[in-house]
Chains A and B, each alone.
Chain A
């Protein structure tokens, strides 16, 4: 039997949806569900949200002023101490989890399974390597805790309807004072849906041509209630901020609909969208490799197509 602990991700007093996706992953490992650990300085709302997810057995909440910002060096010793007795410790494969979980694994003296994308057994999983160009099956040796980051795009979020207990837990772990949070400068999303959880994503590449031209994409996105993403080329060219990057080194997303405008389709980008329900590519170059990955392709000038699309869908 497995005993699973999930490290909750949260911000602005809300539970991040990545946690609900980890719960779904945990349910595939063991149908009995999982405990969720919330670390913060004011955890009540987040803990209540976690407790309402189906598949959550118990919510453990560690409230300390030091946990106000998610500093891996501060959180990891607390997680490692509370991991005792658990067979699995899971976190999301977001920048939060990628930062924290390897530090936890090293404190526990075990390897980490990064980007867990499929469960084949309690200790056997599949994960992508080489930007998703190969998939490996890995197995964690018996007698060691499984520490993993969960590729959130591979699991649907667990839905509400649970009623887990919430327990306040003390943490005696000695915390370092060598790391200090200064500030978070928010990215380009604004009031639009979150890129990682949006149903529909409108995305632009180098073909968009400039920061000003991205306005076309924002307008279309606002009309159809979509989030806006970008390729690395568009980010590197300075058209949009870094947090909009989709791909191997950016965000891995799984929207129901992905509309790619002026994106050539580098393999590193495609790895970020391979779980999208429907991929639509618009590019003026009929040879662009994005068309190999797209479900629907349209060769043409995005500066004509976007306004026409906006009129047709608005």
Chain B
């Protein structure tokens, strides 16, 4: 296998408790820690391991979004990716738009494998990988918890509701990473310094000839409904009484 393309999304860090903007137009992002979407980080780790085992010769990372995405691409380079491509776009990027942009990069780069996270932890959409695979007319293996590459095909174990499903896909293919595919490495300082010298190419959505999808509009952002405050009970008999009171186990 020659090339692996890994898609990275810049998202509000996993540990940040998000707040809505006062005008409810979205979430507060000023001064908030941003990171690589954790599932994408797992995807990148898997690509790097394949390269380290001699199963791929190059791993490149791509992202789409504002120029600040360069920070996450640099982190990807520090983890070990060889080079990076940013499709700059300041507007909202819908999953279908991202998939169309990634398709253009796929056509240019001809990767044997595209790896990305199963979902982004901001919009929780869980769409981009499947959409890219559809537009590319290639196989998809979503929610991967194990990936074995054997020549021209890959055997993927998928985390599905009923258990673990194993499928075999011909390459090139799109694989989306689930939580238990691996544990991503920590980046060390010398790698961060080295990453500054690695190539990072910048393109634009318009330059790629991609039309942004505007078929879904966000009208409002709201807080979730709070549950009513609960009660504490002191022991098992009190708990059982409370359960009976709510109509259970009578």
**A residues with CB within 8 A of B:** 11, 71-73, 76, 94-96, 98-107, 109-115, 124, 128-141, 144, 176, 178-187, 196, 200, 224, 232, 235-236, 241-243, 248-249, 251, 256-257, 267, 274, 278-280, 291, 293-300, 305, 308-309, 312-313
Chain B: minimal CB distance from A242 (Å): 5
Chain B: minimal CB distance from A225 (Å): 10
**Docked-complex contact A184 and B221, CB < 8 angstroms:** no
Chain A: minimal CB distance from B185 (Å): 17
**Bound-complex Cα distance A91 to B246 (A):** 34
**Docked-complex contact A278 and B27, CB < 8 angstroms:** no
Chain B: minimal CB distance from A135 (Å): 5
**Docked-complex contact A133 and B159, CB < 8 angstroms:** no
**Docked-complex contact B137 and A141, CB < 8 angstroms:** no
Chain A: minimal CB distance from B87 (Å): 18
Residue of B137, B142, B249 near A224 (CB, 8 A) is B249
Chain B hits for A184, CB < 8 A: 160, 162-166
**Bound-complex Cα distance A136 to B226 (A):** 16
**Docked-complex contact A278 and B125, CB < 8 angstroms:** no
Chain B hits for A96, CB < 8 A: 160-161
Q: Determine whether B193 belongs to the interface, using a CB cutoff of 8 Å to chain A.
A: no
**Docked-complex contact B96 and A71, CB < 8 angstroms:** no
Q: Known: A144-B215, A291-B230. Contact between A132 and B224, CB under 8 A? A: yes
Q: Determine whether B20 belongs to the interface, using a CB cutoff of 8 Å to chain A.
A: yes
Chain B hits for A279, CB < 8 A: 227, 230
**Docked-complex contact A95 and B240, CB < 8 angstroms:** no
7 interchain pairs, CB-CB under 8 A: A102-B131, A111-B95, A131-B121, A136-B218, A179-B139, A243-B160, A294-B230
**Docked-complex contact B95 and A128, CB < 8 angstroms:** no
**Bound-complex Cα distance A89 to B213 (A):** 18
**Bound-complex Cα distance A241 to B124 (A):** 23
Residue of A136, A138, A182, A241 near B166 (CB, 8 A) is A182
**Docked-complex contact A139 and B167, CB < 8 angstroms:** no
Chain A hits for B187, CB < 8 A: none
Residue of A72, A98, A232 near B126 (CB, 8 A) is A98
**Docked-complex contact A180 and B168, CB < 8 angstroms:** yes
Chain A hits for B236, CB < 8 A: 298, 305, 308-309, 312
Chain B hits for A111, CB < 8 A: 94-96, 213, 215-216
**Bound-complex Cα distance A114 to B120 (A):** 12
Q: Which 4 A-B pairs have the closest CB atoms?
A: A187-B163, A102-B130, A106-B134, A106-B131
Q: Known: A140-B215, A232-B179. Contact between A295 and B227, CB under 8 A? A: yes
Q: Known: A180-B168, A243-B160. Contact between A73 and B140, CB under 8 A? A: yes
Q: Known: A131-B121, A182-B155, A298-B235. Contact between A103 and B134, CB under 8 A? A: yes
**Bound-complex Cα distance A100 to B160 (A):** 12
Q: Known: A178-B138, A185-B164. Contact between A130 and B239, CB under 8 A? A: no
Q: Known: A243-B163, A299-B232. Contact between A76 and B134, CB under 8 A? A: yes
**Bound-complex Cα distance A99 to B156 (A):** 14
**Docked-complex contact A251 and B161, CB < 8 angstroms:** yes
Q: Known: A138-B217, A242-B180. Contact between A115 and B145, CB under 8 A? A: no
Chain B hits for A144, CB < 8 A: 215
Chain A residue at minimal CB-CB distance from B96: A111
Cβ < 8 Å to A, chain B residues 45-97? 94-96
**Bound-complex Cα distance A280 to B133 (A):** 42
Residue of A107, A114, A124, A185 near B125 (CB, 8 A) is A114
**Docked-complex contact B217 and A130, CB < 8 angstroms:** no
Q: Determine whether B122 belongs to the interface, using a CB cutoff of 8 Å to chain A.
A: yes
**Docked-complex contact A106 and B135, CB < 8 angstroms:** yes
Q: Known: A111-B95, A298-B233. Contact between A181 and B126, CB under 8 A? A: no
Chain B hits for A101, CB < 8 A: 130
**Docked-complex contact B161 and A196, CB < 8 angstroms:** yes
**Bound-complex Cα distance A54 to B26 (A):** 39
Chain A: minimal CB distance from B165 (Å): 5
**Bound-complex Cα distance A122 to B118 (A):** 28
Chain B hits for A133, CB < 8 A: 17-18, 224
**Docked-complex contact B133 and A103, CB < 8 angstroms:** yes
**Docked-complex contact B130 and A137, CB < 8 angstroms:** no
Chain B: minimal CB distance from A257 (Å): 6
